[in-house]
Structure 1
Amino acid sequence: MNAEHKPSRSESITTFKARNMSLRSLQALCLASFFIADVRDGLGPFLGIFLTERHWQPDEVGFLMTAGGVAGLLATLPAGFITDTSKNKRALLAVLCVMITVSTLLIWFSQGDGIAAFSQIISGVCAAFVGPLITGITLGLTGQNGFSAQMGKNEAFNHAGNFLTALIGGGIAWYWGIDGIFLLMACTTVLTLCALLAIRNKDIDNNAARGLASSENQPIPSFSILTKNTALLVTGLTLLLFHLANAALLPMLSMRNAGITGAMNPGLYAAITVIISQAVMIPVALWVALRIERHGYWRLIMLALLLMPVRAAMAAATDTPLMMVPVQILDGVAAGILGVAVPGFIVKLLQGSGHVNAGQSVVMLMQGAGASLSPALTGTIAGRYSFSTAFSVLSVIALAALLVWWRYADLLMTHSAASPVKVVTD
């Protein structure tokens, strides 16, 4: 009778070291998610305030944001495929963070149309890579089974980073002025680079990062395979409509406040809106990671979609500064759910396909199309009519997203279970 094999002391030490190194990389990934929150979005809601104080009009700001969004949109598909093929995702992400920061600093020194457009285009292109790279690194470190739990942690740290930088940014804007936000971004970039250096590139399994088993080595499939996946395209269309309604809401709230005589300090107002939503997103992201197996991806995403039309309608109802509190609480709940549930749903949908990050990029392309058009649409309506009218239109668009997700419930729920599913092309 063969005795049960017991690992030798040397084998146990090797296993312990491997697990310890992997744990270190996961912890560093959480820190990178924390600091990169401020880097990826550039000035975020502070951009509109910065330019409004320099006599830019709402429609001009809207079209500038759209220029950056369109540039990011064009880079989205290449970002997914490059992530799938990259052997050093950590270094690539570090270079992109530096490029975002340098391009954003340009607009601090000159607000000319050409410089501002160049700044937003470069930032948009580089930011398009951040999502797929974070997803790829996470999947490469954890594999399929640990992905959703780690993404929940990533999102919680990301929202905590947004919360803290918004808190600090609001204080800086109140005490020194909006220009201090540029220095804050430079500091968080340095800290992001330090966290990325702590992730061991050897710990990232590049096959697992594509949704394959470690032993597999399949070539990346053609783009046509992704376009035939109906569930993937429905998800993308739903998120396109959602972000068309959502992307411009917070910047336009800040711009509406900035245009009201005697209203709250614009920089402080923008910071408070971010602080509220990010504070809510942290527990929501952790909660979603723990509840996916029980409720399924479809139901959780449906809940997030239900909140958007309510949020936009509340913004349209009144310009009272205090109204932004419930508006941003709802934003925190919806974003906290989608930040964890959407990447996890796509990983489940494309498991074993070898093109998980390319599939993520397809959905990001579609939601990016909505996000890039949102500022121009909202800014135009607000400029010609009113902010209230613009927010009402956003509420209608959000209802359309909800209806699309509901219409294809049977197809999507097939793939929303926690157990692995095969790639389908219904």
Structure 2
Amino acid sequence: MPFLAKLLAGDGWRDDAIQFTAAACGLGVFLMQTPAGVLTDRVRNRRLLLAAASLAVGACFGVLPLVPATGWAVGPLVFVGGAAQAFFVPLLGALALGLAGHTALHRVMGENQGWNHAGNIAAALTAMAVASWLGLSAVFYTVAAVSVLAAASVFLIRPGDRANEPAARTRAGAGLRDLFRDRRVLVLFASVALFHLANAPVMPLVGQYIARLGGSDTQVAAVVLVAQVVMVPVAVLAGRWCHTWGRKPVFAVGFVALPVRILLYSFTSDPWVLVALQVFDGIGAGIYGVVVAVVCADLTRGRGGFNALQGLLATALAVGGVLGPLVAGPLVQHLGFAPAFRAFAAAAAAGAVVFLTLMPETKEGDQ
């Protein structure tokens, strides 16, 4: 998203129009996220579905520099790309649980997320090099090429690699109505929705802010790179620590890191300081990506519905992806960047309070 914001800003788009376009991506994720989780519970060939989603994302974002720089052309592509992205979380979680089983999920999710962030580092470094040597448009073409490689890599997973543990069978199980009868699910949903209402628009906003301050494409790429570098060790450690210390203490660190990070953005106009503050993003996102899947497995153990719950929580994420940019656009346009950051810091703080005061520990004694 920082590169998309930079591309559209270079085409003369207004700040609010850029955020509305980012909201189109979030809307695609929002509308497809829960159906994606339910479908993942029921589909047999999850590898094929994941490969198709990867190719769809690559196609949508790869053609952005080629289409007219109008909302009617860019918006639908970003929307469809977001809808395809909705399948990643439940499919990857289902594959991890199927391969590792419940007892080893915390370790596998930590390792998977560590490798995921390492891949994002490679992508950010590649984007920086490509943007410097070939221009900003080439970054989007690179996304398309990498999506083909990602789709091909899915088939390295063999059908016979499935874990023998019964809990690894991610059957349909509990429906959405049953899930919402669990108070813990409601609390987690509300916390995650507030978390992502604040988090979703911030990275594009930082990219815009750096561009407004006269920052370089390298600094925009570094917004992603710094966070991803921190996420690698944090994700691996989060997988271990949530098993040793419990889910809630580790998850709480991620919830608290977010408002601190966003508030600090409002006190600087130095592009490199903005980049450095992405360390907090690395902490929060590194923890979230691991622990949320483990908590979903805890809440659905023995009754099924793991992927449906992942999709439900990812819908909460998508709500933030839609509403956050819609609110961010007018805030930045009429009040400026600093007030916008402070408003989102307040939303993040509210999510942290809900989680810390109402969410119980989900780790059972035998885990």
Shorter chain as denominator, the TM-score bin is over 0.9
Matched residues in 2 for 1:281 and 1:290: separation?
14
Matched residues in 1 for 2:263 and 2:24: separation?
27
Matched residues in 2 for 1:140 and 1:218: separation?
10
SS at match of 1:264: coil
Q: Deviations over 1:139-195 (max 9, x none)?
A: 111111111111111100110011111011012112221011022112211221221
Matched residues in 2 for 1:188 and 1:252: separation?
26
Which 4+ stretches in 1 moved above 6 angstroms?
Answer: none
* Amino acid in structure 1 at the alignment position of 2:12: H
Alignment pair present for 1:241 and 2:194: yes
Aligned match of 1:191:
149
Q: Which of residues 39, 42, 45 is equivalent to 1:88?
A: 45
Alignment pair present for 1:255 and 2:205: no
Matched residues in 2 for 1:166 and 1:147: separation?
28
How many residues align? The count is 366
Asked if 2 retains the 8 angstrom alpha-carbon contact of 1:297 and 1:345, the reply is yes
Matched residues in 2 for 1:258 and 1:213: separation?
46
Cα 1:218/1:199, change in 2 over 3 Å: closer
Q: What root-mean-square deviation, in Å, do the aligned CA atoms of Structure 1 and Structure 2 show?
A: 1.8
Aligned match of 1:148:
106
Deviation at 1:418, TM superposition (A): 6.1
User: Gaps (5+ residues) in structure 1?
Assistant: 1-43, 421-426
* Amino acid in structure 1 at the alignment position of 2:208: M
Matched residues in 1 for 2:13 and 2:171: separation?
51
Matched residues in 2 for 1:299 and 1:219: separation?
30
Cα 1:213/1:122, change in 2 over 3 Å: closer
Alignment pair present for 1:232 and 2:185: yes
Aligned match of 2:307:
357
Asked if 2 retains the 8 angstrom alpha-carbon contact of 1:237 and 1:367, the reply is no
Asked if 1 retains the 8 angstrom alpha-carbon contact of 2:62 and 2:142, the reply is no
User: Gaps (5+ residues) in structure 2?
Assistant: none
Asked if 2 retains the 8 angstrom alpha-carbon contact of 1:316 and 1:391, the reply is yes
Asked if 2 retains the 8 angstrom alpha-carbon contact of 1:245 and 1:394, the reply is yes
Deviation at 1:213, TM superposition (A): 6.0
SS at match of 2:44: coil
Matched residues in 2 for 1:334 and 1:351: separation?
25
TM-score by length of 1: 0.82
Equivalent residue runs for 1:13-412 within 5 Å: 44-110=1-67, 111-204=69-162, 212=167, 220-260=173-213, 263-265=214-216, 267-409=217-359, 412=360
Deviation at 1:77, TM superposition (A): 1.0
* Amino acid in structure 2 at the alignment position of 1:247: A
* Amino acid in structure 2 at the alignment position of 1:264: G
SS at match of 2:86: helix
**Higher RCO, 1 or 2 (CA under 8 Å, sep at least 6)?**
2
Cα 1:198/1:370, change in 2 over 3 Å: same
TM-score by length of 2: 0.95
Decide which moves more: 234-243 or 184-193: 184-193
Asked if 2 retains the 8 angstrom alpha-carbon contact of 1:311 and 1:330, the reply is yes
Q: Deviations over 1:376-396 (max 9, x none)?
A: 211210001100010010111
Deviation at 1:293, TM superposition (A): 2.2
Asked if 2 retains the 8 angstrom alpha-carbon contact of 1:292 and 1:418, the reply is no
Matched residues in 1 for 2:332 and 2:172: separation?
48
SS at match of 1:402: helix
Aligned match of 1:22:
none
Q: Percent identity?
A: 28
Matched residues in 2 for 1:182 and 1:346: separation?
33
* Amino acid in structure 2 at the alignment position of 1:91: L
SS at match of 1:317: coil
* Amino acid in structure 1 at the alignment position of 2:176: F
Decide which moves more: 130-139 or 368-377: 368-377
* Amino acid in structure 2 at the alignment position of 1:118: P
Aligned match of 1:10:
none
